[in-house]
Amino acid sequence: MTKDVVKQDKRGNGQDAVETTRGAHIYRPAADICETENGVVIAVDMPGVGPDDVDITLEKRVLTIHGRIRPTQPEGYRPVYAEYGEGDYERAFSLSEEIDEAKIKAAVHSGVLMLELPKVEPARPRRIEVKAA
Amino acid sequence: MMLYPSISYSRDPFLAMRRLQDEFDRAFAFDRAFAPVLSETGRAAYPAVNMWQSENSVAVTTELPGVEPDDIEISVKDDTLTLSGERKAPEVGDKAAWHMRERPVGKFARSIRLPFRVNPDNVEAQFANGVLQIELQRPQEDRPRRIQVKAA
């Protein structure tokens, strides 16, 4: 049951050759999803993205994250060798009904976006007494 | 003309193996976690680096998201730069269940050959937003000198 609390959206799966209108590539960042008793934590690797450069939108239970890169360009240098590319990051996750959408928190620390998605307060099972007529 | 990928049962087992390898490579070519450069052990070299050069200095940049600056070790000898450190696994409680684990964790070490010998006393490293930038200077005595040509 817990397996489908957060599903990975299949759109753009593995596509890192998409280009933005700014001419930058869009990468699908690596993510960790962990569920605890109280909620779900998502960690997304976004190196080069600062705390002000992340857009998070929630629409119809689909959480979309977009990180704008601050390209690394050492001043006075020319590139001579490259193993990795730089670009924006985009990924979407669909949330289950268990998540309290109003209480989602996000923070960026050293290039990692941490999303905290608390669960809604569990509905307590009620015992209904059967009264003898 | 049909453009379906056809499977031909060749008699050459090595050809079949090579095809499988090609398909495997293509399947993972888009994945960012698999750096294209392979180390001597055949595994992807981590971390992937970009190199920049000016006349008398070289800069190396690498992406290490989530790594604390204290957990990164940089050492320089002659023309070799060694990066090592650890990407720590996130701390979660016993009752936590993982649904997805894509972010690599563990110890890493990598040596990079620089285009020239550098002065180990003049190395600057900055770490911002998960991107490490190291600047290394060419020693004064190694810098190219301009030789004036005199008219006889």
What is the CATH number for A18? Answer: 2.60.40.790
Mean pLDDT by groups of 10 residues along chain B of 152 residues: 50 68 58 48 76 93 93 92 90 82 90 92 93 93 85 84
- ipTM, two decimals: 0.74
Query: What local confidence, expressed as pLDDT, does residue B121 receive?
Result: 92
A114 vs B40, more confident? A114
Residue A68 is assigned to a structural domain of this protein? yes
A2 vs B73, more confident? B73
CA B15 remoteness from chain centre: 31
Q: Note whether A32 contacts B103, CB cutoff 8 Å.
A: yes
Q: Are residues B41 and B52 in the same domain?
A: no
Mutate to test the interface with B, among A34, A36, A46, A98 (most CBs of B within 10 A): A34
The CATH number given to whatever domain includes residue B57 is 2.60.40.790
Residue B138 is assigned to a structural domain of this protein? yes
Q: Note whether B30 contacts A82, CB cutoff 8 Å.
A: no
Count of domains forming chain A: 1
Q: Are residues B60 and B133 in the same domain?
A: yes
What's the mean pLDDT in A21-33?
84
Residue A82 is nearest to which of B31, B50, B93, comparing CB atoms?
Answer: B50
Q: Which residues of A touch B54 (CB under 8 A)?
A: 76-78
Q: Are residues B33 and B50 in the same domain?
A: no
Tell whether B9 lies on the interface with A, counting CB pairs under 8 A: no
Domain extent, residue B52, equals 46-91+104-142
Q: Which residues of B touch A3 (CB under 8 A)?
A: 99
Tell whether A71 lies on the interface with B, counting CB pairs under 8 A: no
What's the mean pLDDT in A39-60?
92
Query: What local confidence, expressed as pLDDT, does residue B142 receive?
Result: 82
Alpha helices (H) along chain B: 13-29
CB atoms within 10 A of CB B66: 22
Tell whether B25 lies on the interface with A, counting CB pairs under 8 A: no
Q: Are residues B84 and B111 in the same domain?
A: yes
Q: Are residues B74 and B124 in the same domain?
A: yes
> What secondary structure letter does DSSP report for B69?
G
Q: In chain B, what is the straight-line distance between the N-terminal and C-terminal CA atoms, in Å?
A: 74
DSSP string, A23-85: S-EEE---EEEEE-SSEEEEEEE-TT--GGGEEEEEETTEEEEEE-------TT-EEEEESS-
- Asked whether the beta carbons of A26 and B30 are under 8 A apart, the reply is no
Cβ within 8 Å of residue A75, ≥6 positions away: none
Q: Which residues of A touch B48 (CB under 8 A)?
A: 83-84
Q: Are residues B80 and B111 in the same domain?
A: yes
Query: What local confidence, expressed as pLDDT, does residue B30 receive?
Result: 44
Count of domains forming chain B: 2
Q: Nearest CA to B107 among B137, B128, B138, B83? A: B83
Q: Are residues B19 and B83 in the same domain?
A: no
Q: Are residues B75 and B132 in the same domain?
A: yes
Domain extent, residue A27, equals 2-118
